[in-house]
Amino acid sequence: MSKGGHTAVAWRELVDAALGGLGVLAGGEFVRANDALAQAYGYESGTDLVGRPWRELFGASERRHIEETVLPGVESDGSWRGQVTGRRADGTVVDQELSVRRLNDDHLAWAVSPMEQTRTNGETPRTAPAGSRNRGRGRNGSDDGPPDRADRAELERYETIVETVDDGVYVLDDDLTFAFVNEVFCDIVGQSRESLLGTPVMDLFVDEEEAAFADEMREHVVSGDTTTGTVEGTIEHEDGTVVRTEARYRLHPDAEDGFAGSVGVVRDITERKAREERLGRQRDELAALGRVTELLHEVIRELFAARTRERIERVVCDRLAESEFYRFAWVGERAAEGDRVVPRVAAGDGDGYLDVLDVTVGDDPAGNGPAGRVLRTDTVQVSQDIGSDPAFEPWREAALDRGFESAAAVPLVCEDTTYGVLAIYASRPGGFSDREQAGLAVLGETIGFALRARDDRRLLFADAVVELEFRSTDPELVLVPVSASLGCRLKLDGHLATGDGDWVAYLEVDGGAATAIGRELEDQAVVGCVRVIRGDEEGGLLEVTFGTGSFLDRVSNLGARVVSATAGEGAVRVGLEAPASADTRDLVGRLESAYPETELLARSEYDRSVSEVDLPGGPLDSLTDRQRQVLKTTYRAGYFDWPRESTGEEVAATLDVAAPTLHAHLRKAEERLLSELLD
């Protein structure tokens, strides 16, 4: 091949090199087909299709569609394009984009591509003006005369085919300059046909490696390698748009100078590569997330073997810092006085970092980092790029010096109680994906639950306890405004948790109508409902349901319990009980923070005499949690009094269960208790 023209043989080779399926029909049978077309229908090579009628490639309904719609459309309009369903050699079906065009004689150009590889811009490939096509070569490849009639017909046939396909088509002469390009190729490279013809192909390459490959490709041809190959490349438009391409080429040796040029087909694979890269990132993220999830599960499993707060926090920090994902971790809490965050435990490669760390919970620079925001919001907070995050400025230099590139802070919460914050640092920007943050949030809740369980366990089995007595006039304590407005006295006569975050309390009232006091209580935000168990104009017994966030709930979340409460004339005196090992300074600080008009009156420590029924192995120990709850509620509600102060239906409504369910639990509890006592 030399500059100036192309033989039909060259065009046939270009069709063979095409990325999509291409063929030529005559009399309803294939007279030419490339390998891609054959493989689209489950055959090995194009020769397997030659001589086969197109009808063998479709089922009965699709054959009728082509005969009644496609071929008449080609006859009237010259071409047809649309979706069809082909049938492979093994009987399976495949959705395809089919393009059929009438050539310059009785032949038809037949082009197919899988639906996922078709052009998505909705455009129909354009046909080049007749004057833009390169002509003038003889059958023997020389320039010594025009082609004969048969050669010219075949030449025009294949030129029409390459203007029909959805891919870019090019021909290079022996000096690697463009001798032909179709309009799809022009669209892909962002240049006009006029600007490309006669210019070196090397001008299109963006990087040196791709240019070196093109030069190496020529050397292979000179040495006799004429195999078809596929290569990916990058093209940059004048406006900066970058296009990723895939090219299939065929190179031609020449006996005289070693290289006679090449033909090739180019496809824009920018979207495909972007999709592949996106899926690759997602696979990497999922793989990393799987390993992070397994790490979190391991931490959680170890948590419940730890018996002290220090051990729980140490397990968490050690396991996170030892992993491949994180570099440093620490746990801290808000100081009992003031708004500083005080680190308690740390692990990992953060030598000296905590010495320069000054974090608060205030809305100031020291409180706007992840840890400070966590203690204000109780939600996971992250800094994905410490180097550029303005909120991390107070600690940026110290963090970057230690290789920290991103950070996350996780609240340690259980219901309405925040025990502290877990801060984690990674050595890569963007180190905490959304899914990873969700996993860390679960870890924080689990740690909070473990700390809450530790407090409950300590309180339940503590031999020595601390009793704290408070006096409060804070209106957030509901007994304060009620006793003030009605001039009545209220006394706590027992309470229990319902298991869904609510609490049921029994209040003895005196000096006022029980019904009026109940209505006043129902107006308080944290009160769910009130039932008068017994009462008259002078007093009675009320059953009050408190929701999440009530005083009973807050005290329980702090690892203590209310043992007494009396209110009158707008003030309430409350007695609390906590394990002697508890941090009572922290407990008092948290309560005074939640209820500012509260003061500690007395603190005393004593050895608790645990009643037999509360001991492990005692009568109540044989009951399930639900049976124990039902038994205590029915007892407190006066169900066993004579006459009964509450019916089974009323107690069932308090516990939000059906009456038969309550009676079933009660009968089982009574049976077990009697069995323990009498057998």
The mean pLDDT value of the chain amounts to 79
CATH top class, domain 1-148: alpha beta
pLDDT digit string, tens, across residues 512-523: 999 999 999 999
Give residue 559's region: left, alpha or beta (phi > 0; psi -120 to 50).
left
CATH top class, domain 613-678: mainly alpha
Listed range (196-200, 413-417, 524-528) with the worst mean pLDDT: 413-417
Q: Which neighbouring-strand residues pair with 81?
A: 99
Architecture category of domain 292-457 in CATH = 2-Layer Sandwich (3.30)
pLDDT at 88: 92
Q: Which neighbouring-strand residues pair with 218?
A: none
- Could you tell me the two tokens for 19? 């990325």
Name every residue whose Cβ is closer than 8 Å to that of residue 464 and which is 6 or more positions away in sequence.
Answer: 579, 580, 605, 606, 607, 608
Q: Which neighbouring-strand residues pair with 464?
A: 607
Q: Are 295 and 319 in contact (CB under 8 A)?
A: yes
pLDDT digit string, tens, across residues 593-610: 889 999 999 988 876 554
pLDDT at 145: 44
Residue 222 has pLDDT above 80, yes or no: no
Mean of pLDDT values over 120-133: 33
Domain borders along the chain are 1-148, 167-268, 292-457, 464-609, 613-678
pLDDT digit string, tens, across residues 267-324: 888 888 888 888 887 887 777 777 777 777 777 777 767 777 888 888 889 988 888 8
Q: Helices marked H in 411-550 — which ranges?
A: 434-461, 479-486, 514-522
Output the DSSP codes for 323-345: SSS-SEEEEEEE-SSSSBEEEEE
Q: Which of 134-148, 248-262, 398-412 has the highest mean pLDDT?
A: 398-412
pLDDT at 120: 36
| Strand bridging mode 262-268 / 229-236 | unpaired
pLDDT at 466: 86
> Quick one: CA dihedral 566, 569, 570, 571, positive or negative?
negative
Listed range (14-18, 174-178, 182-186) with the worst mean pLDDT: 14-18
pLDDT digit string, tens, across residues 25-36: 889 999 888 888
Identity at 176, one-letter amino acid code: L
Q: Alpha-carbon distance 178 to 201, whole Å?
A: 7
Name every residue whose Cβ is closer than 8 Å to that of residue 237 and which is 6 or more positions away in sequence.
Answer: 189, 190, 243
Radius of gyration of the chain (CA): 41
Higher pLDDT, 12 or 484: 484
Q: Which CATH number fits domain 167-268: 3.40.50.1820, 3.30.450.20, 3.30.365.10, 3.40.190.10?
A: 3.30.450.20
pLDDT at 163: 59
Residue 45 has pLDDT above 50, yes or no: yes
pLDDT at 146: 46
**Shared fold status for 167-268 and 613-678:** no
Output the DSSP codes for 245-309: EEEEEEE---TTTS---EEEEEEE-HHHHHHHHHHHHHHHHHHHHHHHHHHHHHHHHHHTT--SH
What is the band of 133 on the pLDDT scale with cuts at 50, 70, 90?
A: very low
Predicted TM-score (pTM) of the model is: 0.47
Residue 529 has pLDDT above 60, yes or no: yes
